[in-house]
Amino acid sequence: MEEKEKDKKIQDFGQVVLENNKKHGKIHLMTIIGEIEGHDVLPASSKSTKYEHILPQLASIEDNEEIDGVLFLMNTVGGDVSAGLALAEMIASMSKPTVSLVLGDSHSIGVPLAVSTDYSFIAPTATMIIHPVRMNGTIIGAPQTFDYFKMIQDRIVRFISSHSKVSEDELEKMMMNTGILTKDLGTILVGQEAVDKGLVNGVGGIKEAFAKMQELMNEKEKNMTENIADKEMSECKLCPRNCKKNRKNKEKGYCLMTDELCVARAALHMWEEPCISGEEGSGAVFFSGCTLRCVFCQNRNIAAAQTGKIISIDRLADIFLELQEKGANNINLVTPTHFVVQIAQAIKKARRNGLIIPIVYNTGSYENIETLKLLDGLIDIYLPDMKYMDSSLSLKYSNAKDYFDVASKALDEMFRQVGKPVFDKRGIMKRGMIVRHLILPGMTYDSKNVIKYLYETFKDDIYISIMNQYTPLKQVEKYPEINRKVTDKEYDEVVDYAIELGVVNGFIQEGETASESFIPEFDCEGV
C-alpha cells in the first residue's frame, strides 16, 4: 500500500521521500520541470509545474518534523514570472536545508528558482539563460506598462543577486547582452560558466547533491544541538531541581557535574531484565553524577561523582559503536538525565555511522517533561524507576518531596514516545517500557500502592519489574529502619498482590539478588 502511494505521488507531483539511506535522514525529493504554470492554465499537452500544487507541498514539508531536507531537481524552460518568483521566494524562506540540481536547463524564471536554495549545483552540460522580462499577448503601450515590467525585472535581479555571488549590475549586463542570442537579448551559461559567474555554487550531479544535502542536514542538527546546549547549560533546568547553575562555565549543578561528559563504565552488563540483557548483555554506559542521590544508592560512587572519566561527544558516539561491535543487545544509558543534550548528539552521530541497536534510557524517573522531549525519536526503550508514592518517603530518602508527581508525569511522556512493547524473535525487547520498583524494608504498603498505580494506569501496555535486590550498604547505618535486607515474606507479599491485581507482564527476582556482587566495578572500563 505504501509503495502504491509513493508511486502515485511520483506520478502526480514528481515527489518522493527518500529515507532508506544509512545516514538516517529523510530527504524530500521535488521536481520542477517543463514550464512553470501560473494563473493561466497551459494546454494538456504541455509538460508543466503547477505552482498552486507546489506551494502547499512546500508548506507541508516545512511543517513536517520528520523531513530533514529538500532536494530540488530542475529542468525548466521558465514560464509565468509571477508564479516562478513566488515559488523561489517560498523555497528561500524554508528553515530546512535545501539543495537544487539543474539538469538540462534552467531558463528565464528558472534562474531564481535554481539559486533560491541553500546550495545549488548544475550538471556539466546543463544551461541557464538570463534575459529581460518578456510578456506574451497584447499589451497597452503606455509608460505605466513599461514601468511595471521594469519593477518586475528589478525584483528578479535583486532576488538572484541576494541568493548568489553575482552583483545586480552584472546581472543586468547579462540580461541586456546582444552578442549571444541571435534574435533576443540575454546570456547563455553552460555548466562551469554558471559557477564561474557566481550564479551557481558548483558543478555536479546527484551524488554531489546528496553529499551536500547530508552535510547541510548534519550542520543544522549540530547547530540546533549547540544552541540547546548553550541554553540549557548556561542556566541548567534539565532536571526538576532547576538549580540554574552555569554548567557551561564549569559550575557544578545539583547533579555535581559541569557540562563535561563524565562516564564511569561502558561494558556489557548481564544483570538487567532478561529481555534487556539476553545472553549477550546490555551495552551499559554509566554516567557520573545524579539528580537524586538516594541515601541507599547502590551506585553511590558514581552518583556522588567520585569516579569517572571526562570524554567528548565524539568519543561517546564511538563507545556506542564499540558496544554494538561487542554484541550488545542495546545501548543502556544509566543515570543520563543531566547529560541529555550531549547524549542526544552522540546518538545521532552514532546512528549516522552505523548504530542500529535500540537505545535504552535507564532512569530514576525524576525528569522534566521538556528534557524528555529532547529525546523524542531517539530512545527506543525506557527503563524508569517508580520508587515511591508516599512523599514523606521520597523526601527522607531522596530529598524529593515531589517525586511521585514528577515521576508519574515523566512516565506518561515516556510511554507516549515508545508505546506498547515490541520484541524480536529471540525475546529481546526492541521497543517499549519496563518500569522498575525496588522494594524497601518495612515499606510493603507503599510498594503495593506503586504497583496498583502502574497497573491501573498502563495495564498490560508496559512491563513491571518488582525488585528485591535492595542492598543495605554502609551509608544507611544512620537509617536503622532500612539497614537490613528485604525479607522473603515482604517480597512475596508484594508479588502476590501484583498477581491478585491481574499483572501479567512483569518480572520478579529469585535467588540471592541482594548482594554487592551485582554492583559492577566503576573503574572506567570501556571508556
pLDDT bracket for residue 15 (50, 70, 90): low
Q: What digits encode the pLDDT tens for the residues 212-226? A: 988 898 888 777 767
pLDDT bracket for residue 424 (50, 70, 90): very high
Cα 55–Cα 61–Cα 64 angle in degrees, nearest 5: 145
Q: Which residues pair with 112 in a beta bridge?
A: none
Q: Which whole-number Å values give the CA distances from 430 to 250, 330, 500, in the listed order?
A: 37, 9, 29
Distance CA 471, CA 408 (A): 25
Q: Would you say the pTM of this structure is higher than 0.85?
A: no
Ranges assigned E (strand) in 217-366 = 262-269, 282-287, 309-310, 331-334, 359-363
Cα 358–Cα 364–Cα 366 angle in degrees, nearest 5: 115
In the structure grid, which three cell numbers stand for residue 195, read together? 559557477
Q: What's the pLDDT score for residue 48?
A: 64
Distance CA 274, CA 143 (A): 83
Q: What's the pLDDT score for residue 436?
A: 98
Q: Is 60 exposed, middle or buried (0-12, 13-18, 19+ CB in 10 A)?
A: exposed
Side chain identity at residue 200, one-letter code? V
Q: Is 162 exposed, middle or buried (0-12, 13-18, 19+ CB in 10 A)?
A: exposed
- pLDDT of 475 above 50: yes
Note whether 2-215 and 235-239+247-518 share their fold. no
Q: What's the pLDDT score for residue 140?
A: 42
Q: Which whole-number Å values give the CA distances from 351 to 228, 260, 310, 345, in the listed order?
A: 20, 22, 22, 10
Q: Which residues pair with 515 in a beta bridge?
A: none
Q: Does residue 376 sit in helix, strand or coil?
A: coil
Average pLDDT over residues 256-277: 95
Class of 2-215 in CATH: alpha beta
Q: What digits encode the pLDDT tens for the residues 1-12? A: 455 554 454 444
Nearest Cα neighbor of 114 from 217, 39, 220, 201 is 201
Q: What's the pLDDT score for residue 240?
A: 96
- Report the CATH architecture of 235-239+247-518: Alpha-Beta Barrel (3.20)
pLDDT bracket for residue 106 (50, 70, 90): confident
Q: What's the pLDDT score for residue 379?
A: 98
Q: Which residues are catalytic?
A: 108, 131
Chain length of the chain: 527
Q: Which whole-number Å values give the CA distances from 59 to 15, 90, 95, 110, in the listed order?
A: 14, 8, 11, 20
- pLDDT of 45 above 60: no
Q: Where are the domains of the chain?
A: 2-215, 235-239+247-518
In the structure grid, which three cell numbers stand for residue 279, read together? 545472553
Q: What digits encode the pLDDT tens for the residues 107-155? A: 888 899 999 999 999 999 999 888 877 654 334 444 445 566 677 788 8
How confident is the prediction for the chain on average, in pLDDT? 87
Question: What is the phi-psi region of residue 502: left when phi exceeds 0, alpha when psi lies from -120 to 50, beta otherwise?
Answer: left
